[in-house]
Structure 1
């Protein structure tokens, strides 16, 4: 027995499990856990729980279908963020490139803090409205 529990993956609620899984799969270069791949053409996609894994098969993110989800209003008050994901990139050039990639996949820019000399970053919202940060490591 281990001394501490081990983090398996982070699960994210969404009203579109497949859509959000696809967003993060493409953004992060992940793959589906065996059996979670999209169904063949013409077969309904009834998935309500999907898991993305890295190249070694380790679980990274999971997506749980929910009926409704109140989108955060951050940075405005009202509905707090509650949680967010942080992703790092190696340079300012890569920061801009990955912001553009994320937006092309459906992300929305919430905050541009790239002028901060100590920690340049972007805060974006994924297609379900969950905030995530991209910053230079």
Structure 2
């Protein structure tokens, strides 16, 4: 019988946990967990899931889209308006790589520590 597990956190390595937490806090409107500090910071997400950041002084950012340093993981965020969300995230410090596989459906952005993440349009419901 499989073990029942519930996702509780997604943790990203980075050189400055508080700085990366501040980026995602402003981008997603999540609350900084009171126990956050320079070695480990986390944001309280929806449904009790934490988005966390741990200090890795030797962190090497992923080199997406090439695989010299694999992306390891990435987060996807649903937004109402791709253009508006992209502009806001770029203003907050994200960057936009040239390669965009399906920019009408989703956009790949890079957070300030070099992690790729995606913003996606809501799924269109049949009949709408």
Shared fold (TM-score greater than 0.5)? yes
Counterpart of 1:4 in structure 2 is 4
Counterpart of 2:57 in structure 1 is 67
CA contact (8 A) 1:15 1:66 kept: yes
The gaps in structure 1 that reach 5 residues or longer are 37-45
Number of residue equivalences? 119
CA contact (8 A) 1:31 1:52 kept: yes
The gaps in structure 2 that reach 5 residues or longer are 123-128
The answer as to 2:88 corresponding to 1:104 is no
What is the TM-score of this pair, normalised by structure 1?
0.78
Q: Deviations over 1:39-92 (max 9, x none)?
A: xxxxxxx52011101377x232011011111121111232221211111123xx
Query: Distance in 1 between the 2:72 and 2:38 partners?
Result: 25
1:125 to 110, 114, 119: 110
Query: Distance in 1 between the 2:46 and 2:69 partners?
Result: 35
- Provide closer, same or farther for how the CA distance between residues 4 and 70 of structure 1 changes in structure 2, counting only shifts above 3 A: same
How large is the Cα RMSD of the aligned pairs? 2.0
Counterpart of 2:103 in structure 1 is 114
